[in-house]
A and B are shown apart, each in its own frame.
Chain A
Amino acid sequence: MSSSTEHIEEPLIKGNPSFGKITSVISRISEKKAPRMWYVAISITSSLAALMFVSIGYLVWEGVGIWGLNNPVGWGWAIINFVFWVGIGHAGTLISAILFLLRQKWRTSINRFAEAMTLFAVMCALVFPGIHVGRIWIAYYMFPLPNQMDMWPNFRSPLLWDVFAVGTYFTVSLMFWYVGLIPDLATLRDRATTKLRKFVLGILAVGWHGGNRQWKHYELAYLILAGISTPLVLSVHSVVSTDFAVSIVPGWHTTIFPPYFVAGAIFSGFAMVMTLSIIVRKLFALEDYITLRHLERINKIMLLTGMMVGYAYSIEFFIAWYSGNIYEAFTFINRATGPYAWGYWIMITCNVVVPQMFWFKKLRNSIPVMFVISILINVGMWFERFVIVVSSLANDFLPAAWDYYSPTFWDISTFVGSFGLFLTLFLLFIRFAPIIAMSEVKGVLPEADPHHHAQDHDHKEPNDGH
């Protein structure tokens, strides 16, 4: 992504705002009354979230039989949704950790809500394996807790690796997000006018005073968190993929799964970041902070990861033939031509064909185009998981054991409801927390460089990439 310095780039933040302007624009979002649209939106999304909790309640009461699972297909929408939501979470950590280590300063405008998106997506993801275990009240068997039966979990199982990987991922993302929030919460605390706000924010900001003695430890903590989140985020979806790859089901038992899943996760996560940032910048008039330049870069990442996913699809097909294994070869031909071919071609269209539009600069810079494409990509990525999970299980080794899988009302209501939960949490976040990392955005302004005033005052110097 490093850009050439031959041409003069426009600055990352448009309109050349002062430090104070940034503070007031971002803080005011959470200080003034919420727009009426916000109330409309949250009443819809929280109703959907309630639908999910009702569905879960009925599931606990009645058992997993209310879902469309049948004999060969024991993993249905719940696992698809789990992989889908975990994948979406990956972009947040990629933006906050990997782009931080790569000194990509453009991340500062979008990292805060991308990280929030990660947290909420992982929460939605954790719901599904949690409720899929059947007897939810003994879900704590997944943890190595001493018990009177002297039973211990099987640490050789990828399903248990998942518990540790996703649990760690959630905890680390939460701490990373909160550490990033501290200076901005201090800003909100210092601007607070009511006693209650001052008190609550005073506690949340943990006594931050912005002294360099604090920044010194803070910056190192942030760097370390970024450094250890980077291998973590790459490992999480790799572990998720081993849930499949370690089994011997045709179409799952492949070594390409870990990198293929990680690329897909980043792809879908960036698509979700795109969808949300277009809505947020429009809703709160943040076009100067989340500029077209930011969005164009997200599009380039989607183009890249989309092609990695496309490459994985084709190499899977090739290896299925090249392996000489008839079950493997059949599975892939069956995916493209069998009973779930419609899902396969939705996946190919949305994930491989549609992102190719981003080769054209004009389309890459058109907000309506990227909004539609970002949604199509997430549709396609959901179908990718559908194709992987369902087509392999429904038609495996013995034709006598095959069956066709279709979801029930409760599958659909739980999934739709999880969007409700995700969006409700996101709406609460954009209402109450600083949605753009103020201290970081101030830090990338040219004025923040202590040597800035020795130079000229027109902000023409390229201030991004090295």
Chain B
Amino acid sequence: MAIEKPYGILARFQDPGTLLKAAESIRDAGYKNFDCHSPFPIHGMDQAMGLKRSPLGWIVGATAFCGGSAALGLQWWTHAIEYPIVISGKPFFSFQAFVLVTFAMAVLGGAVAATFGMLFLNRLPRYHNHLFFSKQFETTSDDCFFISIDANDKNFKDHQSKEFLESIGGYDVELIVES
């Protein structure tokens, strides 16, 4: 059997506590391209992995601002420029009457940005992921905790990484190859 180049390495951990400690060790060992998989988000994991805060807030803020501005602009253009009709003697442009639609469109823009921005930052949607080649990985959405190190991490070396993961409490260590 030819030895294929693995996509990465996968190790199982006992519980959220050991996963968190292991993440710290891997971060301190200089790995960059690794991930900790769990059925639910674990508090403090971003720090343990040395991750920066998600930039999603900026995306949402900018889109919400654009949504609101576009809505206000549309209402102003409709009532003051394109189709000015006097209704109950009210001025053509009055921001008070236009607050609600502006607000609703800002919220809509923000929500769309939050949803699709999250997917974009996660490089989703996708049907397959090389981690799915591992049979045991299916349990990560159930009750198991895993750490995966990607093969293109500059510190990655099959055997060394395997021993390292075992030394910090990982078991069922598995090289991910196409199956």
Contact = CB atoms under 8 A, between A and B. Distances in A.
A36 interface: no
Contact of B40 (A172, A178, A440): A440
B109 to A, nearest CB: 10
Interface string B26-49: 000000000111111111111001
Contacts of B94: 156
Given A212-B36, A217-B118, A221-B115, A164 B16 contact: no
Interface string A209-234: 11111111111110011001101100
A221 B142 CA distance: 22
A165 B105 CA distance: 9
Contacts of B82: 150, 152
Contact of A155 (B64, B79, B141): B79
A443 B41 contact: yes
Given A161-B101, A186-B141, A440-B40, A212 B16 contact: no
B60 interface: yes
A228 B111 contact: yes
Given A212-B38, A449-B16, A203 B127 contact: yes
Interface in A181-222: 183, 186-187, 189-191, 202-203, 206-221
Nearest to A172: B111
Interface in B114-171: 114-115, 117-119, 121-122, 124-129, 131-132, 137-143, 148
Could you tell me the dominant secondary structure of chain B's interface residues?
Answer: helix
B126 A212 contact: no
Interface string A62-103: 000000000000000000000000000000000000000000
A175 B142 contact: no
A179 interface: yes
Given A235-B100, A448-B42, A213 B122 contact: yes
Interface string A43-64: 0000000000000000000000
B111 A175 contact: yes
Contacts of B100: 161, 164-165, 235, 239
B54 A23 contact: no
A208 B38 CA distance: 11
A117 B37 CA distance: 31
B7 interface: no
B83 A156 contact: no
A93 to B, nearest CB: 12
Contacts of B138: 190-191
A23 B39 CA distance: 10
A156 B141 contact: no
Contact of B108 (A168, A220, A439): A168
A176 interface: yes
A222 B82 CA distance: 39
Given A155-B75, A442-B40, A450-B17, A207 B124 contact: yes
B101 A164 contact: yes
B12 to A, nearest CB: 13
A213 B35 contact: yes
Contacts of A202: 127
A212 B129 contact: no
B41 A228 contact: no
B129 A216 contact: no
B45 A215 contact: yes
Contact of A206 (B23, B40, B83, B119): B119
Contacts of A208: 124, 141
B39 A156 contact: no
Interface in A406-453: 438-440, 442-443, 447-453
B118 A171 contact: no
Contacts of A438: 39
B39 A453 contact: no
Contact of B74 (A19, A144, A175, A189): A144
Contact of B121 (A151, A217, A440, A452): A217
B16 A448 contact: yes
Contact of A187 (B36, B39, B112): B39
A450 B118 contact: no
B15 to A, nearest CB: 6
A454 interface: yes
B40 A439 contact: yes
Given A218-B118, A221-B115, A212 B107 contact: no
B35 A212 contact: yes
Given A211-B36, A450-B19, A452-B16, A171 B56 contact: no
A-B pairs, 4 with minimum CB distance: A19-B143, A206-B125, A221-B118, A211-B35
6 contacts: A155-B79, A168-B108, A179-B115, A207-B124, A214-B124, A217-B118
Given A175-B112, A216-B54, A451-B17, 6 more contacts: A175-B111, A215-B41, A218-B122, A224-B114, A228-B64, A452-B15
Interface of B: 15-17, 19-20, 23, 35-46, 49, 51, 53-54, 56-57, 60, 64, 74-75, 78-79, 82-83, 85, 87, 90, 94, 97-98, 100-101, 103-105, 107-108, 110-112, 114-115, 117-119, 121-122, 124-129, 131-132, 137-143, 148
Interface of A: 18-20, 23, 144, 150-156, 160-161, 164-165, 167-168, 171-172, 175-176, 178-179, 183, 186-187, 189-191, 202-203, 206-221, 224-225, 228-229, 231-232, 235, 239, 438-440, 442-443, 447-454
